[in-house]
Chains A and B, each alone.
Chain A
Amino acid sequence: MKDSTFSVQINGQEYTAAPGQTILEVAQSNESYIPSVCYHPNLGTIQTCDTCFVNANGQLVRACATKAEAGMKIDSLSKPVKDAQYEAMSRILKNHELYCTVCDNNNGNCVVHNTAEYLEIEHQAYAFEAKPYPPDTSHPFYRYEPDQCILCGRCVEACQDLQVNETLTIDWTREAPRVIWDNDVPIDESSCVSCGHCVTVCPCNALMEKSMLGEAGFITGIPPKLLEPMIDLTKEIEPGYKEIFAISEVEAAMRKSRIKRTKTVCTYCGVGCSFEIWTKDRHILKVEPQEHAPANGISTCVKGKWGWDFVNSEERLTKPLIRHGDEFTEATWEEALQLIASKLTEIKEEHGSDSIGYIASSKCSNEENFLFQKLARAVMGTNNVDNCSRYCQSPATAGLLRTVGMGGDSGTIRDIEASDLVITIGANPAESHPVLATRVKRAHKLHGQKLIVVDLRENELAERADLFVHPKPSTDLIWISAVTKYIFDQGWEDKEFLNTRVNGLDQFKKSLEKFTLEYAVETTGVSRDEIIKMATMIHEVNSVCILWAMGITQHSGATDASTAISNLLLVTGNYGRPGTGAYPLRGHNNVQGACDFGTMPAWLPGYEPIQDDQARARYEAAWGVTLPSEPGMNNHQMVEGIDKGKLKALYLFGEDMAVVDSNINFVDSSFEKLDFFVVQDVFFSKTAQFADVVLPAAPSLEKDGTFVNTERRIQRFYQVFEPMGESKPDWQIFQEVANALGEDWHYEHPSEIMAEAASLAPLFAGVSYERLEGFNSQVWPVTKDGTDSPLLYTEKFAFPDGKARLIPVDWTKPFITGEEYDLHLNNGRLLEHFHEGNLTYRSEGLTHKVPDPWLEISLEEAKKRGIEDGALVRLTSPYGQVKVRAIVTDRVTGNELYLTMNTREDDEMVNRLTSSHHDYITHTPSYKEMSVKMEILEDKGESPLPKVNHRFGNRIPQISVRVEEKWKREDFTSISDLFQIGGDEFGEGNQAN
C-alpha cells in the first residue's frame, strides 16, 4: 500500500497522500487546516457548506469532494480562495445567530463558531433571517431549533447513512428549508430511535441535548425575557464578531474548569461503545462520543446516549441492609462484613467449601471478576463460581473452543463492516447491539454488502436483508448442515484451506450425509430454493461473517448448532482473513470479560483449564494457597444444588437472577431454601428480596476499571462521580470481605489487580493500564510487548498443531411442551431497555418511550382469537403464568408469539413460563423452547406501546441529504458561478485560455 502513496502540495508544503483521499482528507491527516463545516470524518463528504473551497491546480473546487492527485498544487490561503470561503460562511450565518456567550454549545468545540473565527468574519454580510418554524421540543431528550439550523445536513447524513434509521431529511422545496422528521411530524412521534447521532454531529446548537440547555454556560440559564433583548443589543451594537468571539472564548475557557469530561465505556451491551461523559457536579450534561473511539466512533444508541439517570436515582442502595425477620434494616459496613465473614466461615466449616456458590456479574469490571474468583478459589477453596454467560453465549464459546480454539469473536467490527456477506442467525442486533447493527446497515446500504437474516421474527435487519429466512423454531443446525452439505456436493468448499489448515474432514463429511435437501426442507420448513440460495450466496462472495445470538444458544442443542456454524465457516475458508469469521454477539458490556477473567467453574483466567496442573501451580505459587482442582458448579447446578440441599449459601453480585434465570418460580423457591444469601447490587433488585445481607455497590460511573467487549477489546473506564452514600466499588467490597475472612489484601487501585491478572494469565501478558490510557484499547490475546490481535487465526488456529477441527454434530430435538400448549413462545430484549429495566426505567425519557412490556401476536392469530391491540391475555406454560397486554403485528407470523422482557412486575416476567431444560453440554437454559396456551382476559384495551414509539414511525429512506436539490433552487448561486458572473461585471473574461 505504501508504495502507491504520492505527494501533493498544500500552500507550498509537501504532503503525502493515499489514493482515493480527498484534498480535505489529505490536509486533515497532515494536520493542515482547511475550513469545513459539513464534513465529518465519520460521515464523509456532504457538500452543503461550501466553506472548504480551495484552488487546486487553478480550479476553484470543494476540498471535501475533490480527490487528491499526484503533484497537485493546492492553495487554501490566497485572497480569492479565502474570499470564496468567506462568502460561504456568510451564507451560513444568514441561518444562524451568533450569540455564543449565551449559547450552551459554546464549549470550545463548536464548528460554526470556530470556522467563523478562523475566517475572520467581522460582520454579518447577509442579515440573519429567522425561519417561520417554532422549535421542536417534543422529544424527551433533544430539541431542534430551526432558527439556528444552518442546513449543513450532517444530521441527515448521520441518520440516513451512518445510523441508517432514515428518519431525517431536509425539505429543500420549501421557501425556508428545514430538517424534517418522517413526513414532517413532531420528533417524538417519528420513527426516530433516539440514537443521538444527529445531536452529536450537529456543528452548532440547532440540535441540542435537553440536559445541556441552560446548564452548560455561566449565563445560559437567563430567562428568555431577558436573553432576547440581550441578543438584540449585542446585534445592534455589533462591535464586530472578533470581539464577540474573544468574549465567548473566555467564557468557554471558564466552562472548562467546571464541566468535567470523563472517558467511560457503555454498560448496555457487548458492543463496547466508549465516549466522554460531561458532568457538572452530579448533573450529567451530555454524552459526547469521539471519532477515535475504537468500537463506535461517534455512534451511540438510545441507552448509551441518554440512559444514565439511574446513577443519581434516589432509589439507589446507599447502606448495607441486614434481614431481621420480615424486614431489612440498615446496618454499618462493619456489621455487614462481620456477619458475612462469620456466616460463610460457619457454613464452610460445617458443610465444606463446596457448599457455597459464587455468582459473578457480567456488568462489572474485569478486575472485579478476577478478584471475585480469587475470593472463591483462593480464600474460600471452591470452584463454584460462574457468571451469566451461562444464560447466553456459553454454547457459542464452547462451539468455537472445540473448532477453532478460542471462545471469542474471530475478528472485530471492522471485519463485519468489510465483509462481502453478513449472515445473522437468531439475533436482533438492531435492538440488542444497535451500534454494531449500524455498521451492517451502512455497508449494506452504501457499499453493496449482502445480508442474509435467519430469524423467527422479521426484525429490522430482516426487513433490509437480501434474503430473509424463517425456519421452524429450534431447527437451525439442520439447515446450516444442509447448506454445508450442498456446498460440498457442488464442489464449492475451499479445498486449499481444508487441506492445509483443517483436521477431521473425512469424518465430518460423512456426518453430513443425512442432511439432504429433502430432510432439511421437511424438518426446518426452509424451502429448497432458500437453502440453495444461501449456499450460492456464500459461494459467490470472497468473505463471509456469521453473527449469532440467543436464537441459536438458548436451545437444547445449542453448542452443536454453534459448532455447525463454525464448521460451515471452516468449510468455506471464512476464517483468518479480513472480513471473515464467527461472531457470537455478546449481550452484556462485560460478559466476555467476566469469562476471560475467570468467573467460570472450569476455567482459570485466560481460559486455562482448572485441571491443568501447571496453570494451577502458577496461581498457587503467586497466592500461596492450594487451589481445588476439579471444576465447580455452574449457575444452573448451583440452583439445583440448593434445591437438593447441597448448596447452603450464595454470594451474588450484579445479577438479577430471580428475574433473568429460566423457570424463576423454581429459582425463587430455591433461594428461599438458602441458609445464607449475600446480594451486592446498585439497586434493591428482585433477587435482593431473598437476601440475608444486601451490600450497596457503585456503578461504572463511580469507579475505575476495564471491560472486554464482544470483539475481545479491553477498554478502560474512568471514575466520574464519588460513590453515592456509603456504596462502594465492587472490588473494594470483595477486598473488605476477604480481609474480614482473615486475608490481608491491600489493592489500592484496579490497575494493580489488572497487573496481577496479566502476570498470571498468558492471554493478557501485555495488558496494562498505561497501554489502555484514554481511548487506547487492546484486543486479546496480548503478548508481553503489548502486541494485540484484532483478527484471529491469520496464520494458525489455537490448537497445538495450529489446525482447526471440523466437529461432526447432530440435531437435538427441542423440548416439547405438550399438545395443549398451542402457541410457540419466543422472547428477548428490546432497544429501549436493558433487560428487566432495573437501570433504564429510572430514566423518565426511556419510560416515556416504552413504559411496559408487550406480547407480539400475529395478524392471523389475533384474527382467529378475536383480539386487538391492547388485549389483556394470560399465558400459561407447565411452569407458570404471566398476564400481559398484546400488540398485533406482522413482525411475527402464525402461532409464534414474542414477549419482551422489560418488566419488574412478578406477573409479567417471561421466565415465569420458561423451563429448566438446557443445552446438554453447557447447561445454558433453553429459553427459546417453550410453548404456551393463551386465555383472553380483555379482548382490547390501551396499547402497551404508546404512539410516541419509533415502531409506529414512517421512515423516509434516501442517500445522504440530496444536496443537488439545494443546488437546483432558484435562490442558489454556486460559489464558482458567482466567480464567473463577477468576472463579466468587471468587464474581463475569466477564461485564461
Chain B
Amino acid sequence: MAKAIKQIKRIFPTEEELQSKTVNEMLSTLAENREAITTLIQIVNQLHDLGLLKVVNGMLDNLSDVGEIAIQQINQPSMHNTIKNGMNAFKFIGSIPPELLQTFMGGMSNGLEKASQSLNENEKTSLWKLGNSIRTPESKAALSTMFNFLEGMGEVFIQKKEGQQGGEQRWNNESLKSRV
C-alpha cells in the first residue's frame, strides 16, 4: 500500500558546505592563473595608490546620476558642433586620395622651407623682382593650382545654394525624362 504523499525531504547543503565548495573552486582558479592574477593585483595596487579607484568607485556608485550629468553636458549645442565637426573632419580626411595629399603635403613642406629661407635672409624684395618671380614655372604651377582649388570650392557653394531652393523635387524632373 502506497498512499499519495507530497512530503519531500530535500537535502540542502549547509551554509558551510556551500561556502567551502565555493572557496575551493575559487582557490583552484587562482592557482591555475597565478601569473595573470598577480599582475592584476599589482595594477590594482597602483590604481589604488593614485586614488583612481576611489574616483571610479564613486562614479559607479552613482552611475545613473553621473551618466545623466554627462549626457546633459554632451547634449549642448557647442558639443553637437564639436562632434559634428569632428566627424566631418574625419570624413574629409577619408575622402582625399592619399597620393594627392602626399603631393600637396610635399609641396607645402617645400614651400614652407623656401618661405622660412626668405624670412631668414631678411632681404628686401622689389615689386619688379616679385613680378618676375611670378613668371617662373614653379610660381605659375602653384598659382594655377590655387585658382583651380578656388574654382572647385565655388562650384560646391553654388550647388548648395541651388539645392536649398528646389532639392526635394529634383528627382521628378529626371524621372519624368526617363518615362518619356
Which residues on A are within 8 Å of B, measured CB to CB?
Answer: 55, 58, 78-81, 83-84, 86, 125, 223, 225-226, 229-230, 232-233, 236-237, 239, 243, 319, 321, 323-324, 326-330, 658, 668, 671-674, 677, 684, 686, 689-692, 978-979, 981-983, 985-986, 988, 990, 992
Closest to A239 in B: B87
Residues on B with beta carbons closer than 8 Å to the beta carbon of A81: 175
Q: Note all chain A residues with C-beta closer than 8 A to B83.
A: 237
Known: A226-B67, A692-B2. 10 other contacts (CB 8 A): A80-B171, A125-B168, A226-B64, A233-B80, A328-B7, A671-B4, A677-B2, A982-B175, A982-B176, A983-B176
**C-alpha gap A979/B179 in the complex (Å):** 11
Asked whether B8 lies within 8 Å of A328 as measured between CB atoms, the reply is yes
Q: What are 22 of the A-B contact pairs (CB < 8 Å)?
A: A79-B175, A86-B171, A226-B68, A226-B71, A229-B72, A232-B75, A233-B80, A236-B80, A237-B83, A319-B10, A323-B5, A668-B4, A671-B2, A674-B2, A690-B3, A692-B2, A981-B172, A983-B172, A983-B176, A985-B172, A986-B169, A988-B173
**Bound Cα distance A421, B75 (Å):** 64
**A330 engages B5 (CB within 8 Å):** no
Is A79 touching B174 in the complex (CB atoms < 8 A)? yes
Measured in the bound complex, the distance between the Cα atoms of B169 and A988 in whole Å is 14
B6 interface contact, C-beta 8 A:
yes
Complex contact A233–B179 (CB within 8 A): no
- CB within 8 A of B174: which of A80, A230, A674, A691? A80
Cα distance, A268 to B169, chains bound together (Å): 56
Contact B175 A672 (CB under 8 A): no
Q: Which B-chain residue is minimally distant from A978 (CB atoms)?
A: B172
Task: Answer yes or no: B11 CB below 8 A from chain A CBs.
Answer: yes
Task: For A690, list chain B residues within 8 Å (CB).
Answer: 2-4
- Are B84 and A239 in touch, CB under 8 angstroms? yes
Given A226-B68, A985-B172, A986-B173, residue A684 in contact with residue B178 (CB < 8 A): no
B44 at the interface (CB under 8 A from A): no
B18 within 8 A of A: no
Cross-chain contact A80 with B175 (CB below 8 angstroms): yes
How far does the alpha carbon of A740 sit from the alpha carbon of B7 in the complex, in Å?
28
Contact A83 B7 (CB under 8 A): no
Q: Does B1 contact A (CB under 8 A)?
A: yes
B126 CB, min distance to chain A CBs, angstroms = 52
Are the C-beta atoms of A321 and B8 separated by less than 8 Å? yes
Q: Does any Cβ of A come within 8 Å of B135's Cβ?
A: no
Closest B residue, CB atoms, query A232: B75
The answer to whether B129 has its CB under 8 Å from any CB of chain A is no
- Residues of chain B within 8 A of A674, CB atoms compared: 2
Residues of B within 8 A of A986 (CB): 169, 172-173, 176
Distance (Å) between the CB of A732 and the closest chain B CB?
23
Residue contact B3 to A672, C-beta cutoff 8 Å: yes
Complex Cα gap A324–B5 (Å): 11
A673: B residues at CB distance < 8 A:
1
Q: Which residues of B contact A689 (CB under 8 A)?
A: 4-6
Q: State which residues 132-180 of B face A: CB under 8 Å.
A: 168-169, 171-176, 178-180
Residues of B1-33 whose CB lies within 8 A of A: 1-11
B8 adjacent to A684 (CB under 8 Å)? yes
The answer on a CB contact under 8 Å between B2 and A323 is: yes
Which residues of B (75-121) have their CB < 8 Å from a CB of A? 75, 80, 83-84, 87
Chain B residues numbered 27-55 whose CB sits less than 8 Å from any CB in chain A: none
Contacts of B7 in A (CB 8 A): 326-328
A125–B172 CA distance with the chains assembled, in angstroms? 16
A668 to B2 CA separation, bound complex (whole angstroms): 10
Do B173 and A327 touch (CB < 8 A)? no
Known: A327-B5, A327-B8, A689-B5. A58 touches B179 (CB 8 A): yes
A690 to B67, CA, bound (A): 58
A658 to B179, CA, bound (A): 76
Q: What separation, in Å, do the CA atoms of A981 and B169 have in the docked complex?
A: 10
With most chain A CB atoms within 10 A of its CB, the pick from B75, B168, B171 is: B171
- Contact A686-B4, Cβ < 8 Å, known A58-B179, A330-B9: yes
Chain A residues with CB below 8 A from B74, complex form: 233
The chain B residue sitting closest to A986, CB to CB, is B173
Size of the chain B interface, CB-CB below 8 angstroms: 33
- Cα(A673)–Cα(B4), bound, Å: 11
Decide: A233 and B8 in contact? CB cutoff 8 A: no
Q: Which of A225, A232, A668, A985 contacts B68 (CB 8 A)?
A: A225
Instruction: Please name the residue on chain B nearest to A984 by beta carbon.
Output: B172
Give the top 8 A-B pairs by smallest Cβ distance, nearest first: A80-B175, A982-B172, A83-B171, A689-B4, A327-B7, A329-B9, A229-B71, A328-B8
Distance in Å from the Cβ of B90 to the closest Cβ of chain A? 10
A contact residues around B8 at 8 Å (CB): 321, 327-330, 684
The docked-state distance in angstroms from the alpha carbon of A227 to that of B146 is: 48
Q: For the complex, what is the distance from the CA of A242 to the CA of B43, rounded to whole Å?
A: 40
A316 to chain B, nearest CB (A): 13
Query: Given A223-B64, A672-B2, do A79 and B71 touch, yes or no (CB 8 Å)?
Result: no
Q: Hey, which chain B residues are within 8 Å of A329, CB to CB?
A: 8-9, 11
Instruction: Give every chain A residue within 8 A of B71 (Cβ-Cβ).
Output: 226, 229-230, 233
Choose among A236, A671, A686 the residue with the greatest number of B CB atoms under 10 Å from its CB: A236
C-alpha spacing A692/B2, complex, angstroms: 8
Which residues from chain B contact A229 at a C-beta distance below 8 Å? 68, 71-72, 75
Chain B hits for A323, CB < 8 A: 2, 5
Most buried by A among B3, B74, B178, B179: B179
CA A672 – CA B176 in complex, angstroms?
Answer: 87
Enumerate chain A residues within 8 angstroms of B3, measured Cβ to Cβ: 326, 672, 690
Is the pair A990, B179 in contact by a Cβ cutoff of 8 Å? yes
Contact of B2 with A80 in the complex, beta carbons under 8 Å: no
Complex contacts, A223 vs chain B, CB 8 Å: 64
Which has the most chain A C-beta neighbours within 10 Å: B2, B72, B180?
B2
Closest to A59 in B: B179
Please tell me which one of the listed residues A237, A658, A988 contacts residue B87 in the complex, with CB atoms under 8 A apart.
A237
Q: Which residue of A lies closest to B71 (CB)?
A: A229
A981 cross-chain contacts in B, Cβ below 8 A: 172
**Contact across chains for B2 and A979 when beta carbons are under 8 A apart:** no
Chain B residues with Cβ below 8 Å from A671 are: 2, 4
CB nearest to B8 among chain A residues: A328
Cross-interface CB contact of A83 among B11, B84, B175, cutoff 8 Å:
B175
B7 nearest CB across to chain A (Å): 4
Q: How far is the CA of A723 from the CA of B101 in the complex (A)?
A: 62
B178 in contact with A78 (CB, 8 Å): yes
Bound-complex Cα distance A684 to B175 (A) = 70
Residue of B with least CB distance to A988? B176
Please give the distance in Å from A690's CB to the nearest CB on chain B: 5
Given A80-B174, A982-B173, A983-B176, the answer on whether A328 and B5 have CB atoms closer than 8 Å is yes
Is the pair B175, A992 in contact by a Cβ cutoff of 8 Å?
no
Could you say which residues of chain A place their CB within 8 Å of the CB of B67? 226
Which of chain B's residues have a CB closer than 8 A to the CB of A990?
176, 179-180
Least CB distance from B80 to A in Å reads: 5
**Which chain A residues border B176 with CB–CB below 8 Å?**
80, 979, 982-983, 986, 988, 990
Docked CA distance A208–B178 (Å) = 42
List A contacts of B72 (CB < 8 A): 229
Q: Within 8 Å CB of B172, what residues of A? A: 978-979, 981-983, 985-986
Complex CA gap A988/B5 in Å reads: 90
Report whether A236 and B169 are in contact in the complex, using a CB–CB cutoff of 8 Å: no
Nearest CB on A from B27, distance (A)? 25
**In whole angstroms, what is the CA distance A236 to B9 when docked?**
62
A807 to B72, alpha carbons, bound, how many Å? 83
What's the minimum C-beta distance from B64 to chain A, rounded to whole angstroms?
Answer: 6
- Complex CA distance for A715 and B175, rounded to whole angstroms: 51
Bound together, the chains give a CA A81 to CA B178 distance in angstroms of: 10
Least Cβ–Cβ distance between B94 and chain A, in angstroms: 12
Name the residue in A125, A225, A232 with the highest tally of chain B Cβ atoms < 10 Å from its Cβ.
Answer: A225
Complex Cα spacing A407 to B5, Å = 39
A326 to chain B, nearest CB (A): 6
CB distance from B28 to the nearest CB of A (A): 22
Q: How far is the CB of A78 from chain B (nearest CB, A)?
A: 6
Q: State A239–B74 Cα separation when bound (angstroms).
A: 15
